[in-house]
Amino acid sequence: MRRLPGGRLLAVARPFAQGAVRSPVLLVLTALVPGAWAASAFFFLALTGSAVGTFWCVFGVAVPSLVVFPRPLCRAVRSLAGRWTGREIPDSYRPLVPVTRMATRYWWNGYDYQRFRWISLLHRWILTRVYDPAAWRDMLWILVAPVTAGAAAAAPLALVAAGAAAAAARPETTPLPEEARVPAAVLSTALGVLLLPLGWRAAVLVARRLLGPSLLVRSTTRIAVLVQGRADLTHAQEAELRRIERDLHDGAQARLVSIGLSLSAAERLLGEDQAEVRALLRQTRENSLAALRELRELTQGIVPPVLVERGLVDAIRALALDAPLRTSVRSTLERRLETPIESSLYFTTAELVANAVKHSHGSAIDITIDRTRGGVAIAVTDDGRGGARIGAGSGLAGLTTRLRAFDGVLRIDSPPGGPTRATVEVPCASS
């Protein structure tokens, strides 16, 4: 029989060890509150000896516990599930309104006015757990989890425990015959061990379904993101139009007016002072060349011709050729994208390169363009000093606004000392 190497053996045993640890943790989290209710019921039944008195006593324990415990327990389940699976379970709690003192000297907490600040804070704490739909989903989880997620996590443990109990039981204390007791114990234990990697995953699936945002919340959030993205895009377009108008007014238009004045002056001096006429014509030619240069720069700021004619990859390569730092471009993108997405990705990349040149104090920039499963990703990496952050006055916040219109994201990995890696991802399809 061939023996497995140590590393491969650990890889095979790891899922079972994870299940042996994670299943009990989920079982404790899902059964904590119902277990406290059951313990209080036995306690009050022994204390009062009356079923009616026990009911009211347990009711007095259950209702406050449904207000106090669901949120921290559900946050713990979300955190563990996200850490174990690599996929976070987002919550949908309503944001807390800061307690503010009004001109009337009363404190406003988002729900009501109170005379004292501590009472307003207490009311806000209670009312967020009464009026927030996500809080009711947490309460539903507390009630449903023991028979869903808890049962899924407990099933493998129960099979292992039953097998161990059957193996350790005395022959006279078990109904199974002696020849069937050991095989039944081995089968139960083996089945429980095999199910260990599946039990906690099934419990996490139930948690993701019950503790994640509801369809209504996801739809509302999606609508709000689209509305905000449309507003941001409108503001960006308005600012771009104003920039173009300002550049035309202050640059090319002023130079064209100067050309007209110079030609008028040359026309008046045509038969009088030939040297002055030559000087005016020379100045006119220089102004025309400057106006042409400014118009080219302005049109390149709108849409570069190479982007329209050759696509995103060649446009970024042309951008790399003009960069003052040593810049390399690698691409696995084979087909062109939709024109608006190409334009947004190009200008985003140009801004990232400009930031790297201006702020990184590095010597080289590496740009990679990759096709992902659902879109395209562009990574701009420099060997500079690092420390870049979104919203730190670096202009990166504006890039996130531009990308939000296409459901794109910008991630910055820039530890102090470098290197800085800015990754842009946009979901799209090839054209």
Q: What percent of the chain has pLDDT over 70?
A: 68
Please state, rounded to an integer, the average pLDDT across all residues of the chain. Answer: 75
DSSP state of 145: G
The residues facing 381 across adjacent strands are 366, 421
pLDDT, tens digit (0-9, with 9 covering 90-100), for 274-294: 676 667 667 777 777 676 666
pLDDT, tens digit (0-9, with 9 covering 90-100), for 65-82: 777 788 888 888 888 888
Residue 81: CB atoms within 10 Å: 25
Residue 423 has pLDDT above 50, yes or no: yes
pLDDT, tens digit (0-9, with 9 covering 90-100), for 375-403: 888 889 888 887 777 765 556 767 776 77
Q: Which fold has domain 309-427?
A: Heat Shock Protein 90 (3.30.565)
The predicted pLDDT at position 431 comes to 45
Determine the length of the chain: 431
Q: Cα separation of 306 and 9, whole Å?
A: 55
Q: Cα separation of 427 and 345, whole Å?
A: 11
- Any idea where the domains of the chain sit in the sequence? 11-94+132-211, 220-302, 309-427
pLDDT, tens digit (0-9, with 9 covering 90-100), for 191-207: 877 888 888 888 888 88
pLDDT, tens digit (0-9, with 9 covering 90-100), for 83-122: 888 888 888 787 777 888 887 788 888 788 888 888 888 8
- Which of 399, 402, 410 lies closest to 230 in space, CA to CA? 402
Residue 3 has pLDDT above 60, yes or no: no
Given pLDDT bands bounded at 50, 70 and 90, which one contains residue 10?
A: confident
Grouping H, G, I as helix, E, B as strand and the rest as coil, residue 115 is coil
Walk across the sheet containing 107-108 and list its strands: 100-101, 107-108, 113-114
Q: Cα separation of 210 and 18, whole Å?
A: 23
Given pLDDT bands bounded at 50, 70 and 90, which one contains residue 213?
A: confident
pLDDT, tens digit (0-9, with 9 covering 90-100), for 227-258: 666 666 656 666 666 766 666 666 666 666 66
